[in-house]
Amino acid sequence: MVALEKPSAPTQARTAAARQPGFSLPEVFWKWALLLPATLVVGALLIFPIGFTLVMSFTDWHMFRHGEPVAFVGFEQWQRLLTDQFVWQTLRNTMVFVLGVLPLEYAVGLIVALALNNCTHGKKFFRITFLMPLMISPVAVSLVIGRMIFHEDIGPLNDILVRVGVQPVHWLTDAKLAMLTLIIIDVWTATSFMILMLMAGLQSLPQEPYEAAVVDGASEWQRFQYITLPLLAPVTVTALLIRGLDAFKVVDIIKVVTGGGPGQATESVTLAVYDLGVKGGDLAYGAVGAYSLLIMMMLFTVLVLTFTRQMVRGVS
Amino acid sequence: MQRRKTIKTVIVYTVLIWWTLMLAAPIYWLVITAFKGPASINRGATYLPFVDFQPEFSAWDYIFISQRDKVIPPFVNSVVISLGSAALAVVIGSMAGYGLARYSYRIGRMGNDSIALSFLSQRMFPAAVLIIPFLLMYRDLGLLDTRQGLLLAYTAFAIPFVVWVMRDFFRGLPVEVEECALLDGCSRFGVLWRIALPLAAPGLVAVFVLTMIGAWNEYLFALVLSFSESVTVPLFLQVQTSVLRGTEWWNMAAIALLAVIPVVVAGLALERYITRGLTFGAVK
């Protein structure tokens, strides 16, 4: 990297001479003035609240209990977590959602990206079409797919099932199927991200191994299995990590389609934090829920990185 | 050999067309639902206009004539908030990105790379850890249910991404041009304004569009921080499902269509930049 901070001596002399006095501010002013606004905003609106939530989780802060001072109670709120079935279930639900969504999105994403990479006509059309779901509001998608298409009485999916002679399915009121419905919606919206990442990965693959493989008489499948897949490992890890961490934060799809129901079968942690902390006013316990999600995400990151390290290293 | 090639082509296009249809089906359903009337929806699923239902315009009448005063404000809020926060985030974020690309900083033990990474790492945190302090802060600052409040929040969420992308972008620009301009007596601000920013225009467009789309579609913070005055489009859409008379699917579909069209048009027009912005830094 070239730093402009310390120009060579003659340069400094010329610069100083050329500058009009009174109009030029010293470089060190610019250096810090450029960084300061972003630091202030991020510090005040991201870093401070993140720390504040952690502190809150050790208090007994409740929104609707006026007059009483807020007290520190140590790990009392965290102990509540141990025996609270509700928050555990939301953690489990979130986990199920992430583990359901990731393999599906990766599989579909890889198949579509490979097809797109081998496509000769209309590549641009398909590429743009596949980008579209990333721009559409998740709320709108959830309403259209979750509430309209999967509607149990007037939706087209059950209508088609009935026409071909199958029993209508309880997409939203059956606990297990409701989670599947949510996973399908997420696959619709987020597979595009996988396609995008894997396409970028495929396009940056070196050509030499393929040429060598053709000379050695490797079949198309062998080339995919022994060259493409291992070489894609780094992009795969990045894509799974980014998408996985994103999927842990799921809330809008669930809030719109099932509202966490039936019962609490599809309630995610983020939705629980909203319900407990914002709606219920139990701020401290909401903070505990939020941090348990963060801990789960960190565990996920560590697990993914340890399990994939060898896979990635094996390539390079 | 020729036969194999044909089989491959068939597989490739089967996959591509299959996924295109999967993506198109909900959009098709959204569009036709926006032109159905109450009767043709509650009768059960209907698929083809003019064949099994007659298109009606009751939803559009609802939006643009009878309930205009109710429908327009959320759209105005969303436009103001998403454009405002994207502009602010791009200005503040690319300033920091430029600084991190051209100067060397030292804050405690952190050098430029650690500073940039600590910006980026803010994106990893789930919104759940933010909503409760935001509720309290905004209540005390009187920012609850205001456009400014949401605008500020979305600006903050977008800045880490803008800093990260723009830093990479500025680093890719030749530093010699800027040195020459400095020598010729141009101020640092002049260099940034006249040379660096115009050269970085593609990157600026990418981050602007992406942050704008993000703010336009954001749901959770709008839900927590607004009740009536600063309701945005996603929140307004979701509320449509809980009206007392039962969901008016046709109105909801029409509003959803209006919510989707502007960002999709902007996105498709700037597709090239967006692909670049989204995969930035991930593939090297």
Chain-chain contact of B132 with A287 (C-beta, under 8 angstroms) = yes
Q: What is residue A51's predicted lDDT score, i.e. its pLDDT?
A: 93
Tell if the pTM clears 0.90, that is, is over it: no
| R_g (Cα) of chain A, nearest Å | 26
User: Residue B260: which of A46, A120, A140 has the nearest Cβ?
Assistant: A140
> Which of A12, A50, A136, A195 to mutate: most B Cβ within 10 Å?
A136
Q: How confident is the model at residue B272 (pLDDT cuts 50, 70, 90)?
A: confident
Q: Is residue A62 part of a domain?
A: no
Q: Is residue A284 part of a domain?
A: no
Which of A41-55, A242-256, B240-254 has the lowest average pLDDT? B240-254
pLDDT digits (tens, 9 = 90+) for A111-168: 999 999 988 888 889 988 998 998 999 999 999 998 889 988 888 888 888 889 888 8
Q: How confident is the model at residue A291 (pLDDT cuts 50, 70, 90)?
A: very high
Q: What is residue A316's predicted lDDT score, i.e. its pLDDT?
A: 46
Burial class (CB in 10 A: 0-12, 13-18, 19+), B247: middle
pLDDT digits (tens, 9 = 90+) for B26-83: 999 999 988 888 777 777 777 888 877 788 888 788 888 887 888 899 999 999 999 9
pLDDT digits (tens, 9 = 90+) for A227-248: 898 889 888 998 999 999 999 9
> Chain A to chain B, count of Cβ pairs less than 8 Å apart?
301
Q: Token digits for A316?
A: 């390079």
> Which of A5, A8, A11, A35 to mutate: most B Cβ within 10 Å?
A35
Chain-chain contact of A50 with B187 (C-beta, under 8 angstroms) = no
Instruction: Give the fold, CATH level 3, of B71-279.
Output: MetI-like fold (1.10.3720)
User: Residue A1: which of B16, B171, B263 has the nearest Cβ?
Assistant: B171
Q: Which residues partner with B53 through β-bridges?
A: B49
Chain-chain contact of A49 with B11 (C-beta, under 8 angstroms) = no
pLDDT greater than 80 at residue B93: yes
Chain-chain contact of B122 with A49 (C-beta, under 8 angstroms) = no
Nearest-CA distance A24 → chain B (Å): 6
Q: Which residues partner with B107 through β-bridges?
A: B110
Residue B2 has, within 13 A of its CA and on its CB side, a CA count of: 0
CA–CA–CA angle B103, B108, B111 (5° rounding): 35
CA–CA–CA angle B267, B271, A146 (5° rounding): 50
> Which of A23, A28, A30 to mutate: most B Cβ within 10 Å?
A30
Nearest-CA distance A57 → chain B (Å): 11
Q: Does A131 touch chain B (CB under 8 A)?
A: yes
Chain-chain contact of A119 with B279 (C-beta, under 8 angstroms) = no
CA distance A58 to A73: 6
Q: Does A107 touch chain B (CB under 8 A)?
A: no
Rounded to an integer, the average pLDDT of B204-210 is: 90
Q: What is residue B284's predicted lDDT score, i.e. its pLDDT?
A: 40
Chain-chain contact of A239 with B33 (C-beta, under 8 angstroms) = no
pLDDT digits (tens, 9 = 90+) for A160-209: 888 898 888 888 888 889 999 999 999 999 999 999 999 989 988 888 88
- The domain of A103 spans 85-276+289-315
Chain-chain contact of B237 with A39 (C-beta, under 8 angstroms) = no
Chain-chain contact of B128 with A249 (C-beta, under 8 angstroms) = yes
Nearest-CA distance A198 → chain B (Å): 9
Chain-chain contact of B125 with A50 (C-beta, under 8 angstroms) = yes
- What is the b/e burial string over A2-33, where b = at least 16 CB atoms within 10 angstroms of the residue's CB? eebeebeeeeeebbeeeeeeeebeebeebbee
Q: How many domains does chain A have?
A: 1
Burial class (CB in 10 A: 0-12, 13-18, 19+), B213: buried
Q: Is residue A2 part of a domain?
A: no
Residue of B nearest to A29 (CA): B188
Residue numbers in B near A154 (CB within 8 A): 41-42, 44-45, 249
Chain-chain contact of B125 with A196 (C-beta, under 8 angstroms) = no
Which of A6-20, B100-114, B138-152 has the lowest average pLDDT? A6-20
Rounded to an integer, the average pLDDT of A51-69 is: 85
DSSP string, B52-116: TB----HHHHIIIIITHHHHHHHHHHHHHHHHHHHHHHHHHHHHHHHHHHHS---BTTB-HHHHH
Query: Residue A132 has what DSSP assignment?
Result: G
Mean pLDDT of chain A: 86
Chain-chain contact of B217 with A291 (C-beta, under 8 angstroms) = no
Q: Which residue has the tokens 């068939």?
A: B10
Cα dist from A262 to A89, A157, A248, whole Å:
13, 20, 20
Q: Is residue A220 part of a domain?
A: yes
User: Residue B239, Cβ neighbours under 10 Å: how many?
Assistant: 13
SS3 annotation, B33-68: HHCCCHHHHHCCCCCCECCCECCCCHHHHHHHHHCH
Nearest-CA distance A193 → chain B (Å): 8
Going B276 to B277 to B282 to B284, the CA torsion angle's sign is positive
Nearest-CA distance B65 → chain A (Å): 23
Grouping H, G, I as helix, E, B as strand and the rest as coil, residue A315 is helix
> Which of B13, B14, B16 to mutate: most A Cβ within 10 Å?
B16
Residue numbers in A near B277 (CB within 8 A): none
Contact map slice: A 158-217 vs B, CB within 8 A: 158-160, 188, 193, 196-197, 200-201, 204
Chain-chain contact of B126 with A248 (C-beta, under 8 angstroms) = yes
Nearest-CA distance A176 → chain B (Å): 23
Chain-chain contact of B282 with A130 (C-beta, under 8 angstroms) = no
Residue of B nearest to A40 (CA): B156
Q: Domain map of chain B by residue range?
A: 71-279
pLDDT greater than 90 at residue A14: no
CATH code at position A241: 1.10.3720.10
User: Residue A116, Cβ neighbours under 10 Å: how many?
Assistant: 20
Residue of A nearest to B223 (CA): A274
Q: What is residue B177's predicted lDDT score, i.e. its pLDDT?
A: 84
- What is the b/e burial string over B18-33, where b = at least 16 CB atoms within 10 angstroms of the residue's CB? ebbeebebbbebbbbb
Q: What is residue A21's predicted lDDT score, i.e. its pLDDT?
A: 45
